[in-house]
Structure 1
Amino acid sequence: MAIIQNWLPPSRENWESICFVFQLFPLFTVVQWLVDWYPQGKTSRESRFNIPGKIGWAAMEAPGFITLVYIMFTLPGELGIRELPWGNWIMAGCFVLHYIYRALVAPLYLNPSMAPMHPIICVAALAFQLFNATSIGGWLAGYGPTTAQDWAGRSWSVEIGLVIWAWGLMGNIYHDDVLREIRRAAAGKQRQEAERLGERPSSVDKVYMLPEDGLFKHVLYAHYLCEWIEWAGFWMVGGWHCHPARTFLANEISTMLPRALQGKKWYEKKFGKDKVGDRKAVIPGVI
């Protein structure tokens, strides 16, 4: 049953339009190179409109994988497809697993705290998620490969792609936890001090230190790099012709790269260039 006729799930024509528009997303990220205003995370700013970080993050990220799952279970029936091939479900599973972690587990259960965000960030990220999920979901649910024959002869590239995807996801989780440990340590110290003074512990949502473990020895945004590796593996699973996966990777890089470069400037301003040293922003030895 369609939630929005011809849009959710999308008709072939509307799906192609969505894919075309989403490919233009890097043009919109040009503003990130020109303006350093980004009211979320390290650069969050005080505003009466701010949304609590954990709630805002879950609200903007979760609709993506929910939309993809919905399309996977509704579009095939509308197209008369009785059964999707195994490769389609593997890719859908990779997507859903990543976002269960990123949208729900990490912000709501693992992160000690998250800085508040402006609604503009939340709305923009939500739009990104819906476009992306519809693009990938449509390809996987009927507008891409629809038979096992479409995956024939590609087992080696699928296996290698899955290994790359898994290593990227594990690296992402590991480096996220390195950042979380900074907050955990700060929260523990503040809790002990508050207990000693008989006061209520203060928030640690704006506590930042230079991360040192793992790839953070070489770059300041190792979790970004690992996520790019993860989605590069995802694209490899789908194959060169999987344009939604290619678009997703390109769009992630286009929006996260300027954020990382601005973040490096933020680290240098806060801690000094001497402490940041020769670490790059996101790609070791390059940028």
Structure 2
Amino acid sequence: MAIVQNWMPPSRENWELISYYWQFFPILTGVQWLIDWYPQGKTSTESRFNIPGKTGWASMESAGFITLMYIMYTLPRELGIEELPWGNWTMAGCFVIHYINRAVVAPLFLNPSMSPINPLVWVFAFLFQMINAISIGGWLAGYGPTTVYDWAGRAWIMEVGLVIWALGLLGNIFHDDDLREIRRAADRKQRKEAEKTGKAAEGVDKIYMLPKNGLFKYALYAHFFCEWIEWAGFWVVGGWNCHPARTFLLNEIATMLPRSLQGKRWYEKKFGKDKVGSRKAVIPGLI
């Protein structure tokens, strides 16, 4: 059942239109190179309009995998496709696994706290997820490969791509958890102090330290780098002509690269350039 006729799920014409213009998203991210204002996370600002960090993050990030799965189950029926090939479901599974962790498990169950999110950031992130899911979902649900023969002879390439994807996912999870441990350790310390003094714990919403484990020894935003590896593997699974996967990777880099450079300036200002040392912003030894 269509939610919005010809748009959700999209008709081929509308899907091609969305996918084409989605490639130019990096142009919009140009403003991030000009200003450091980014009211979310460590650079969040005080505002009565702010959305609580955990619920805001979960709601804006969940839009992607929910939309993709909706398209996967509805579009084939509209196109008369009885069964999608296993390769399509493999890629959809990779996408959903990533976002179940990123949008549900991490913010709602693992993160000790999250800084509030400005509504503008929430809207842009929500739209990013929706448009990206329509682009990838349309390709996987009927406008890309539709038979097992479309995947024939690509098993070894897919295996390579899945290994790259899995390594990126595990690296992303490891480094995200290392950041969480900073606040978990601070929370444990505060609780011990509270037991001794009888005073309430201050909270760890704005506790930050320089991460030091794993690739954080070489780059402050190693978790971003690992996510890029993950989606590069996703593109390899889909193949060179899987333009939605390619667009997704390039759009993520266009969004996250200036953010990591802004973040490095923030770390240098807060802790000093001598403490940051030779660490790069996002790609070890390079950027």
TM-score by length of 2: 0.99
- What is the letter of the counterpart of residue 15 of structure 1? W
Please tell me the residue identity of whatever aligns with 1:92: A
CA positional deviation for 1:27: 0.5
Please identify, of 179-188 and 200-209, the stretch whose mean Cα deviation from structure 2 is larger.
200-209
Q: For 2:2 and 2:18, how far apart are their aligned partners in 1?
A: 17
Residue 246 of structure 1 aligns with which residue?
A: 246
Tell me which residue corresponds to 2:85.
Answer: 85
Once superposed, which parts of structure 1, at least 4 consecutive aligned residues long, lie more than 4 Å away? Answer: none
Gaps of at least 5 residues in structure 2 are none
Correspondence for 1:36:
36
Take 1:43 and 1:267, find their aligned partners in 2: how far apart are those partners?
Answer: 11
1:136 maps to which residue? 136
Shift, 1:285, TM fit: 1.1
Partner of 2:163: 163
Deviation at 1:35, TM superposition (A): 1.0
Is 1:256 equivalent to 2:256 in the alignment? yes
Paired residues, what number? 287
Deviations 1:174-220 (A, max 9, x none): 00010000000001111111222212212201100000000000000
TM-score (norm 1): 0.99
Amino acid in the other structure paired with 1:36: D
Name the residue aligned to 1:214. 214
Deviation, structure 1 residue 98: 0.3
Q: Quick one: distance in 2 between partners of 1:184 and 1:276?
A: 22
- In structure 1, how many angstroms separate the alpha carbons of the residues matched to 2:103 and 2:22? 21
Q: Deviations over 1:134-190 (max 9, x none)?
A: 000000000000000000111111000000000000000000010000000001111
1:111-141 deviations in Å (ceiling 9; x for gaps)? 0000111000000000000000000000000
Match of 2:100 in 1: 100
197-206 or 146-155, which moves further after superposition? Answer: 197-206
Are 2:270 and 1:270 equivalent residues in the alignment? yes
State, as a whole percentage, how many aligned pairs show the same letter. Answer: 75
Distance in 1 between the 2:195 and 2:124 partners? 41
One-letter identity of the residue aligned with 2:115: A
Structure 1 unmatched ranges of 5 or more: none
Once residues 184 and 200 of structure 1 are traced to their aligned partners in structure 2, the CA distance between those partners, rounded to angstroms, is 16
SS at the partner of 1:6?
Answer: coil
CA distance in 2 between partners of 1:44 and 1:168 (Å): 27
CA distance, structure 1, for counterparts of residue 6 and residue 232 of structure 2? 30
The match for 2:198 is: 198
Partner of 2:54: 54
In structure 2, give the amino acid aligned to 1:19.
Answer: S
